[in-house]
Amino acid sequence: MLEEGLTVTIMGMGTVFFFLCVLIFAMAITYKILTVVNKFFPEVVLETASVKKISASNDEEIAVAIAATKAL
């Protein structure tokens, strides 16, 4: 019975190892294919609008928040 358990364990681990190797191989092939495809169809980079920073201080908003917390 112990031999059967070890056999099943080794077969299961071998199966998982095999599929992990296939997965690594498939990912490597996909990477190579996509680098070739990317040369012909490059990714479009969209420029985003820059956010303006408000130069004026927001002391009034801070004062309102402090007053609201002190009121509680």
Q: What is the pLDDT of residues 25-71, one digit of tens each?
A: 999 999 999 999 999 988 888 887 766 666 557 788 888 888 989 98
User: Is residue 60 a part of any domain in this protein?
Assistant: no
User: Is residue 67 a part of any domain in this protein?
Assistant: no
* Rounded CA separation 13/10 (Å): 5
Sequence-ordered alpha helix ranges (H) in 41-72: 59-71
3-state SS assignment for residue 63: helix
Mean pLDDT of 16-26: 98
What's the confidence (pLDDT) of residue 48?
78
Domain tally, the chain: 1
* Rounded CA separation 17/64 (Å): 63
* Rounded CA separation 40/34 (Å): 10
pTM of the prediction? 0.53
Q: Which residue has the tokens 């681990």?
A: 13
Question: What is the residue range of 5's domain?
Answer: 1-48
